[in-house]
Amino acid sequence: MARPLRIEGAGLWYHVMCRGNGGQHVFVDDTDRESFLARLGMVAGAFHVELHAYALMGSHVHLFARTRVANLGRFMQRLLSGYTQWFNKRHDVYGHLFQGRYKALLVDKNAYGREVSRYIHLNPVRTGMPTRKAVAEQRAALRGYRWSSYRAMIGLARKENWLETKETLARWGDTPREQQRQYAAFVEEGLVGEIEDPTEEAQVQSILGRDGFLTRVKRLVYGRKASDLESEQARRRLLAEDVEDVIEEVARAYKIKPEEVRRSGGSPRRNDTRDVAMWLARERCAARCTLGEIGKAMGGVGRSAVNMAYRRVASRARRDKRLKRMMARLS
């Protein structure tokens, strides 16, 4: 599987998850948790990162954050490396504390923000308590859990000065107390019935959003190379187009109907158009679908036919100025 794409930008929202190396606990006791939270607030202030929710579990951490500048990677590096050094010195241990790269989902806050916030706050009872516990006991455990932002969010504890709660609560009522009450009711619905894990809807492993949001993200990453080859695969998959969209674009360029692009035989111009469509589809769609799938959309030809059309177009463009101009127009 390709490595998830890291997308950074000003004003973006992220659900960040970091796990202990090999599943080990990253917090041994409350002193560790207090140190991590103090460092979290300090580093967030230094890097201009807003923190809107968090949950510290035994072996992992969840954060819901917004970056004011494009610096999520530097923020997380400072946070995790600093805490690891402190933890290792305190417990007289060595080596990596956290497992590889942290995971960061870019979140469409308008579409998924409240579900991500709820998912983070429910973590202490979804993963840390037996499922047979009564709802009342789970609610008490959730409201009593000291190491998440939930108590502060619903007014049961004094919030840290670096924790942002107003934006999350703003949609839940007219007064602060009503907002806290309605938000608590929303979160605690998850104790009664099964709720979906919003992270399971992520696209290309790292983006949680609807079509309009995906379009904006594509504009953000277009023209940028990923930091490594594995992430580049994810970037290409994100930017890959649907074969039908390519066929329609070629049809518009040649001023014919899409079904004529798929049809073989007839005039040389028709065959040229079909070859150009297969060339463009391989260029734009191969990160999302196979050459066989491209051939099927092009009228039922095999992958070898797609490759042959690709080579024909590339070869002819070296001597056919008209074709070269069309390729440049479509690229």
Distances (CA, A) of 132 to 34, 138, 152: 31, 10, 27
pLDDT at 128 (0 to 100): 46
pLDDT at 55 (0 to 100): 97
pLDDT at 67 (0 to 100): 96
Burial class (CB in 10 A: 0-12, 13-18, 19+), 23: exposed
Distance (Å, whole) CA 15 – CA 117: 9
Task: Mention every residue, 6+ apart, whose C-beta is less than 8 A from residue 114.
Answer: 168, 171, 186
Q: Within a 10 A sphere around the Cβ of 320, how many other Cβ atoms? A: 14
In this prediction the pTM is 0.72
Distance (Å, whole) CA 94 – CA 80: 15
pLDDT at 73 (0 to 100): 92
Domains of the chain by start residue, with CATH = 12-220 (3.30.70.1290), 241-330 (1.10.1750.10)
Q: Record the tokens describing residue 124, joined without a space.
A: 């202490």
Q: Which of 308, 258, 257, 320 is nearest to 282 (CA)?
A: 308
One-character DSSP codes across 31-90: HHHHHHHHHHHHHHHHHTEEEEEEEE-SSEEEEEEEESSS-HHHHHHHHHHHHHHHHHHH
Task: Mention every residue, 6+ apart, whose C-beta is less than 8 A from residue 45.
Answer: 162
pLDDT at 223 (0 to 100): 55
Distance (Å, whole) CA 321 – CA 85: 62
Rg (CA), the chain: 26
pLDDT at 64 (0 to 100): 98
Residue at token pair 């066989």: 292
pLDDT at 63 (0 to 100): 98
Mean pLDDT per 10-residue interval, the chain, length 331 residues: 69 94 94 97 97 96 96 95 96 91 90 94 73 78 96 96 95 93 94 79 76 75 53 56 82 87 63 84 71 85 86 87 84 70
Q: Within a 10 A sphere around the Cβ of 322, how many other Cβ atoms? A: 10
pLDDT at 219 (0 to 100): 72
Residue type, 297: A
Q: Which of 279, 247, 239 is nearest to 263 (CA)?
A: 247
